[in-house]
Amino acid sequence: MPQLQIKVPSLRRWGKKMAVVVDEDFFAALGPMDDVADISNCDIAWFVVQYDESSGEAVLKKGSHRFTTLERAVEGLTRGHPVSLQRFQERLGKRLVRQYPLHAANLGFDR
């Protein structure tokens, strides 16, 4: 958010837009943000990507896009719903075990 608050006003003065790429889980955790009807009225173009992990590797897939103003983006970022620490650690542990089984075991993530 600090980067958006610093960079977007300058880009706005120059008639430019900020592009932000996030994954679906992150975007879903944000609070509601009103969209603008046309890209010419937005400050930020959000590109929401998906991860397909069915092959054992994370592959980026095209998702959706949203166009917002800086003000609505700040509202969405500050009204978000963070994942619990336990859920975050569980997800991280599963990925560590899958990708680095020996190191994950040494860190206690093999449970």
| Domain extents in the chain | 2-80, 83-111
Q: Is 46 exposed, middle or buried (0-12, 13-18, 19+ CB in 10 A)?
A: buried
**Long-range CB contacts for residues 88-93, cutoff 8 Å, separation at least 24:** none
Residue 5 backbone dihedrals phi, psi, to 5 degrees: -65, -25
* pLDDT computed for residue 66 by the predictor: 96
Region 19-36: mean pLDDT is 93
* pLDDT computed for residue 59 by the predictor: 86
* pLDDT computed for residue 68 by the predictor: 97
* pLDDT computed for residue 72 by the predictor: 95
* pLDDT computed for residue 55 by the predictor: 85
Contacts of 62 (CB under 8 A, 6+ apart): 49, 50
pLDDT in tens, 31-89: 999 999 999 999 999 999 998 888 878 888 999 999 999 999 999 999 988 778 888 88
Element spanning 28, H or E: helix 24-29
* pLDDT computed for residue 46 by the predictor: 97
Q: How far apart are CA 45 and CA 42, in angstroms?
A: 7
CB atoms closer than 10 angstroms to residue 72: 20
